[in-house]
Chain A
Amino acid sequence: MSAALAEPRSGRLVLPLTVNGRALRVEAEPRSHLGDLLRDGLDLTGTHLGCEHGVCGVCTVLLDGEPARACLTFAGACAGASITTIEGLDTDEIAGELRAAFNRAHALQCGYCTPGMLIAARDLVLRLPEADERRIRVGLSGNLCRCTGYAGIVRAVMAVIGERRGRGIGPETGAARALGPVGARIGETIVAPLQPATAPLTPVTPAAVADLTASFVPAHSFAQGLDLAHPPEAVFALLGDIEAVAACLPGAVLTARPTPDTVEGGLQVRIGPIAATFRGRARIARDAAARSGSVHGAGSDAGGRSATEGRIRYRVEAGPTPDTARVELEVGYTLTGPLAQFGRPGLVRDLAGRIAADFSRNLDARLSGTAAPASTGLNPLRLLLGLVRARLTAWLGRA
């Protein structure tokens, strides 16, 4: 990412940027965020990186003069922008006063949060009308410090605001800027085509069925009932046909059946824009006398970062009227990895209700002998439509 390159390499952008007052042309991949661009490309390592998802605040920089998260500002989003990092505030009056106050108040220990903290504090000094401790604490809530307990930081910021207001310097309102995200220019057209695909990741070895122990204790569980207008015997028989069940289950595909009670396959999970495909194995058990059964499986997604284990127990009972059935499902699952961070239990519950409705409709169609539903697993067209519609089409986790 050196400066002043005439032609970008394939799939890369050349961005005009003003960094700490210097006009530059910087080459970057579209997926590079501003933090990497500043640190790796321009050696401006005063901007730190912590969580890289907008929570910790250490990467806070000034974008067109306003604080913004460098980790959530992708290269293509800020062409033409003016960026000020902590290095660019060496001669800034407020930053100088804050540095002195941080020093006096012992407002740092390890110093990792300090660049972001100073930029957030400078913004508060500019905008807050008075040195109100609560508003300062609220204002600094997006910058995490694990050393100081914030007491010194808050004292330092209060002191600087108090002194400046005492000198008759009032707050700024920022009323004059253009509408829209800071750093984003209107009308500037950029095209950075995708680079040729890199080598695909080697698939993760699916969990061995032997690992699926009866002692599995799911982290989350819920019950779900399905009502079907078909005799319980027919419903139970269909649930024994694993190919048919997979075809009725949105997002599921079967790839192998190494033993009569073991299946291998995948399950595509979708929550809004999030898509993940879990691949793994499951063990099936049936008890014909009790018209009940279970499916116990485990799998992980392509990068092997999110993993899930789940168990569905079902029991087919007679419905309220003759020749109808009620299927009682007991679903338990454990989800780990990045997906778990967004797959909040409440969302899963809501999704499960809709998938159960789809599953129930598909089962009903199959039992009625009407159009057998096609597997909706990994059809790329459906994937695309699903994404554009941001619509749920699959079942979360092996559960």
Chain B
Amino acid sequence: MKPAPFAWERPGGLAALLARLAGAPGNVKLIAGAQSLGPMLNLRLVEPDLILDITGVPEFRIARVEGDTLVLGACVTHADIEDGRVPDLTRGALRRVAAAIAYRPVRNRGTIGGSLVHADPAADWVSALTALGAEVELAGPDGRRTLPVERFVTGPLTVALGPGEILVTVRIPALPAGAAWGYVKHCAKIGEFAHAIGAVRLEPGAGRGRAVIGAVEGPPVLLADARPLFGGRIGTDFAERFDASAADAVLRAAGMADAVERHVHVTVLARAVAQAAEPAPVHLPEAA
């Protein structure tokens, strides 16, 4: 349970990090809080020659509001969000997701950017940020670009980073007034990776919404237009209109062959819809 030897460098700025990433020979892996990569290193499933520790880069440790968008640096931790050390434009939605990730010692070091880049299909941010319509800002040798999370996470543990490219910030749009949010995950033991995730971000006033079924085999199943789940129309009565058979059909089309697995995912999504209709009390559900 000890990692294979690796070199360790900790650049003090973004330019130095990008230059080192472009020039370093051998297998290079970036590390932030090490809460996902650490176990893989200890198990020697990953054996890089060089690890670049990105937590010294000031640009990754910021949070700011740009208009209707919350911008979080890649190294903002789950605990930073849980504790309210970053602004909140989602009426507590982000805080509730963050507070239920793994365990407090993990949340104190695990980062939002690291979680997205690691792209475990069962990770909370992969599904939650897809449902919230968040984007990631990437920096690389050819400059910067922005991608929606659903185009960034392309498969299990697989993202759309090009060679020499890194995730700099996560951009999360505000939850508008009147919008409903529900996020439910199913774990057999608290803190473990989820077996099923359901997330909905619905705007009954505007008649639109997004839904995500996560912790599936590949990237989260996103319905950017969730109306088919609600009989074709999203209104204030969306909870009554939720159609479990439509969700089942979506999963079937996505290749989920096992009926029990589909049932679990559809049930969890239904609970997310119910939560969106009757938002949870203000206190954090899992303030571990």
Contacts and interface: CB of A to CB of B under 8 A. Distances in A.
A339 B47 CA distance: 13
B146 interface: no
B30 to A, nearest CB: 10
B191 interface: yes
B191 A30 contact: no
Nearest to A195: B5
Interface string A342-360: 1000110111011000000
Contacts of A53: 1, 38-39, 42-43
Contacts of B43: 53, 338, 341-342
B288 A190 contact: no
Interface in B1-48: 1-13, 16, 26-29, 31-35, 37-48
B108 A179 contact: no
Interface string B205-228: 000000000001110000000000
A179 B76 contact: yes
A180 B180 CA distance: 29
B104 A173 contact: no
Contacts of A67: 104-105, 108
Contacts of B51: 30, 74, 76
B234 to A, nearest CB: 30
B5 A74 contact: no
A74 B27 contact: no
B119 interface: yes
Interface stretch (B131-139, B152-160, B273-281): B152-160
Contacts of B10: 76-77, 79, 188-191
Contacts of B13: 187
Contact of B39 (A57, A72, A74, A191): A72
A36 B2 CA distance: 10
B115 interface: no
A26 interface: no
Interface stretch (A94-102, A202-210, A307-315, A380-388): A380-388
A139 interface: yes
B246 interface: no
A168 interface: no
Interface in B79-110: 79-80, 83-86, 102-106, 108-110
A191 B6 CA distance: 11
Contact of A392 (B41, B58, B155): B155
26 contacts: A11-B5, A31-B6, A53-B1, A53-B42, A54-B35, A66-B79, A69-B109, A72-B38, A74-B34, A139-B104, A139-B287, A142-B105, A181-B75, A181-B109, A182-B77, A194-B7, A194-B49, A195-B5, A271-B156, A273-B29, A273-B40, A275-B47, A346-B156, A353-B255, A385-B163, A392-B155
